[in-house]
Amino acid sequence: MTDPVRLSKRVAELVGCSRADAERYIENGWVRVDGEVVEAPQHPVTDERVELDPDAVLEAPEPATVLLHKPAGFDAFDGGDPAAALVTPGTRWEGDASGVRLLKRHFVRLTPLVPLEAEASGLIVLTQDGRVWRRLTEDAAQIEQEYVVEVAGDIAPYGLRRLNHGLRYQGRELAPCKVSWQNEIRLRFALKDVRPGQIQDMCAQVGLKVVAMRRLRIGKVSLAKMPPGEWRYLPVGDRF
């Protein structure tokens, strides 16, 4: 048995590349040790079989952005039941067509963005990408969100008109938005700069009680047909 060496050293010898390039191959999931992908350049190896994927390319590591269908009852941000805990390799949606290869490093330091109440379900965003973070924080007031809201009760006269324009929340006049009936018990909201609790308060002002709420879209990115508790990657190049 030979003495252990760093995996990056073994890959550099195997491929005939620099140690830095070997580390990039490893970190991007192109290297297998005895058939298992290893993403840590410092991983010690001795006599194990080390292989470089024949499709391997030298590319800069891309930070991941994850789109999760948060079930009701989970906390989007802080709380005892964080939705981020649902993002695991086993809960990736089989319909994910992003083309992004799953890597272990995609599951660390994911920052949740765009608040969503614990009792609501629907699309939430978790990211490692500073560009996405800036877009969804600095430009949040300009990004439209879409919700379907199940309600109970009898709407007040001119209530639908008031939901579209004419209500206030937390002391400020709300900007015009788009609210329409989807069916007899469901309203569809499309609005910008929405605050936690705002939609429930808007409904209460016109005599309706929110029974359930699901966020369908943030900007140009939609929930699609992804089941609750599952996630997909934001494809490279897609924008909110």
**What's 25's domain CATH number?**
3.10.290.10
For residue 183, what is the domain's CATH number?
3.30.2350.10
Number of domains present in the structure of the chain: 3
Higher pLDDT, 28 or 140: 140
- The answer on 164 and 70 residing in a single domain is no
Q: Do residue 105 and residue 210 come from a single domain?
A: no
CA-atom Rg of the chain in angstroms: 23
CATH code of the domain in which 76 resides: 3.30.70.580
Q: Tell me, yes or no, whether 122 and 225 share the same domain.
A: yes
Q: Which of 228, 224, 230 is nearest to 89 (CA)?
A: 230
pLDDT at 150: 98
Does 229 lie in the same domain as 167?
Answer: no
- Domain residue limits at 43: 5-52
Inside any domain, residue 60: no
Is the domain of 112 the same as that of 77? Answer: yes
156 in the same domain as 176: yes
Output DSSP code: residue 108.
Answer: S
161/183 same-domain check: yes
Name the CA dihedral angle for 84, 85, 89, 90, rounded to a multiple of 10 degrees: -120
Which of these, 168, 192, 170, lies nearest to 179 by C-alpha position?
Answer: 192
pLDDT given at position 79: 81
Contact (CB, 8 A) for 138 and 177: no
Residue 25 counted as domain residue: yes
Phi and psi dihedrals of 26, rounded to 5? -65, -50
Q: Same domain for 80 and 124?
A: yes
Lowest mean pLDDT: which of 41-55, 86-100, 218-232?
A: 41-55
Residue 238 lies in a domain: no
Residues 198 and 159 in one domain: yes
Mean pLDDT of 90-109: 92
Same domain, 167 and 188: yes
The whole model's pTM is what? 0.84
